[in-house]
Amino acid sequence: MPDSLKTQSPTQFARVAVVAAGMVSPLGRGLSETLASLRTARDCVSRVTRFSVERCRCTTAGQVADSWLEDALPNDRKSRRLHRVSRMVIQALRELREQAPEFRPELTVVGTTSGGMSFGERYYRALQGPNARARKIPEWIANYPPQKPMVDALEACGLESPCQVIANACASGTNAIGVAFECIRSGRYERILTGGYDALAELVFVGFDSLQASTPDKCRPFDGARSGLVLGEGAALLALENLATAEARGAEILGEVVGYGLSTDNHHLTQPHPSGIGPRQAMERALASAQLEARAVDYINAHGTATPFNDAAEGRAIAELFHRVPVSSTKGMMGHSLGAAGAIEAVITLLALRHGFLPANINFRAPDPELALDIVANAPRATAPRVALSNSFGFGGTNASIALAARA
């Protein structure tokens, strides 16, 4: 625990521990595979195989292999009807439960953007197409609601919990963790399951390609010649618990969530305010929430989509608020998983704090002369970070940042 956190009054807020986590993403299935990919700065972006990309500028994405999901459920009729994102969430929740089998959430708060969007695509095409498969329509409709993957996972793991869904563009996963953190810190809850999920969908992929936000090149966050993002997919879940309660029962503590900040700049439908005021306010508020000064932060896992405007706005905010803090975006390795991104990147940041390294910002060739940043370029950096920020910023100027601390 950093000294600056120890000055906080123990009666003012409950402290919030992360007692377990699970994830599946292009980096691998589970925390061990993810850690191995991070340590080797592995590029997990590949040509899209789920649907045709012949007419798209961008042809690559970070994809979760179907083979990783085959043992998520039995091969029965009910299971075969589930969307693959349900299988991702089930895998993540099972890993979490293996670490903390006694963890039973009072509330579940998750972020996502598209839910079962690919089932929605099939449904509407079936209504218009000459070969409509009417018998499949109930399956498509049943899997369309965005909360369905989480409900499926809770059922598969024998858990019951009220479920809240936050759909706040690409900040969804981080906002979900932030809301869960605030609920426990306030004393209203002891244990909350939180995280985010999204699956690659053709409608979303083609939409980003049409906006020319996606790149036909490599995804190069913060590079002077960056030209756009690549999409990804995945699911990540975190078990948050009142720290005193967790310690009393002898739980293993992976780290702490110590602060949360959000802002909305409402500058443009898809572009951030060029001054970086939105990201800066989110980070400032996360620091204020954690009662930390900027100099206490050892690492920032940036939103870093590699689009010209987004990286410029975030980079300016970081450069103004911090003095040469190490920064990296892990999206070059795995793509941008939209509503899942904040949750996946929060787990990545926890792994960095727990195992003593800074994840790499791969595909980096030359710095942007307009951004005075210390980029963790192309290879992990061995160090011992104690406090880190994880940022997520979305369309419409929605911005969220969480502060995470290593276990003392």
Q: Please name each of the domains of the chain with its CATH number.
A: 3-7+17-405 (3.40.47.10)
What integer is the mean pLDDT of 284-298? 98
Question: What distance in Å separates the CA atoms of residue 228 and residue 307, rounded to the nearest whole number?
Answer: 4
Predicted pLDDT of residue 132: 56
> Do the bridges between strand 60-62 and strand 45-47 make them parallel or antiparallel, or are there none, so unpaired?
antiparallel
Confidence category of residue 286, pLDDT binned at 50, 70, 90? very high
> What DSSP string runs through 362-392?
TT--SB-TT---EE-BSS-EE----EEEEEE
Q: Which residue do the tokens 């941008």 mark?
A: 336
pLDDT value of position 7: 43
Contact 404, 178 (CB under 8 A): no
Structure-token match 């996606």, residue found: 214
This prediction's pTM: 0.93
* Among the ranges given (208-217, 236-245, 259-268, 302-311), the one the predictor scored with the smallest mean pLDDT: 259-268
CB 397 within 8 A of CB 273: yes
Residues annotated catalytic, as ranges: 170, 303, 336
Evaluate if residue 6 carries a pLDDT over 50. no
Cα(15)–Cα(171) distance, integer angstroms: 23
pLDDT band at 73 (very low <50, low <70, confident <90, very high): confident
Q: What is the pLDDT of residue 76?
A: 76
Q: Say if CB 237 and CB 193 are below 8 A apart.
A: yes
Sequence-distant contacts of 5-14: CB under 8 A, at least 24 apart: 5/258, 5/290, 5/291, 5/292, 5/405, 7/291, 8/291, 13/185, 13/186, 14/184, 14/185, 14/186, 14/187, 14/242, 14/243, 14/244
Element (H, E) at 207: helix 202-210
Check residue 311 and give its pLDDT: 97
Rounded CA-CA distance 178/398 in Å is: 14
**pLDDT surpasses 50 at 8:** no
pLDDT for 80? 75
Is the pLDDT score of 118 beyond 70?
no
What crossing angle do the helices spanning 84-99 and 148-156 adopt, rounded to 10°?
40
Interior angle at CA 55, CA 49 and CA 59, nearest 5: 40
